[in-house]
Amino acid sequence: MVLKVQPGVPRVGGRLVRFADGLKQFKACKKMPAVKSLDQAPCSNTKPEQIMGHSCQALALLVKAGISFQAIPLKARMHEGLVSSNRDRRTLLDKRLLLLAALQLPEPVLLAADACLPRKSKSYRTAVSRKLDANHRHIQVGLVAQGLLQCLAATQFTLVLRHFGSWLRTVRAPHCASEFVVASTLRNSLLEFLATTPNDRNFTIFLREQLDLLRIEGTSLAAA
């Protein structure tokens, strides 16, 4: 979808440019699946050298946005802290390449990157696998939302500013809006969208079924 909506996707030597990097998210719960001790480069005396958390590998696509460039996230998975089989000898690089292959890209790619459950019952391993699947879906939904905001910022600059509902002092025409500005625009125009959209639209029906009428936001959306 990104290749369809983004007008300017740069290529190097005829290849799409993908970035791969690791993400570390702090988690306080030691018994949560895939939580392990992670090293981090301290940039100050107050930053610990090690934390407990999740370690993910993420892939992003380089795109042009206005006069600058940005990386749109595509996929991320937790690749450390869990060994489902003693026969699994895959390295982080192997898992990163499998993650890239899972995207099933239609063009050649130039990849730019930086340098256990033993003796548990089957029901336990199944529960852990189900938890990890839920975590991966949560991560992927966040990446999709982030990518959509970036695509709208790069391709719908005028439309975003028209519906932003406030004044931006530093915006200049050659630049694209930030993801925060796009998110605020979508939030500010949601009531107008619901008021002018037919009730048989799938999104409107789904949204109204999920409204919490005990909150002021829910009652406002229901009135729209």
| Tens of pLDDT, residues 167-188 | 665 555 566 778 888 888 888 8
pTM: 0.55
Q: Report the pLDDT value the prediction gives residue 53, as an integer from 0 to 100.
A: 76
Answer whether residue 37 shows pLDDT above 80.
Answer: no
Beta partners for residue 57, in sequence order: 22, 77
For residue 112, pLDDT over 80 is answered with yes
- The strand pair at 15-26 and 36-39 is best described as unpaired
159, 183 contact by CB (below 8 A): no
Task: Quickly count: other Cβ atoms within 10 Å of residue 78's Cβ.
Answer: 21
Q: Which residues pair with 71 in a beta bridge?
A: 62
Q: What is the mean pLDDT of the chain?
A: 76
Question: What pLDDT is recorded for position 68?
Answer: 79
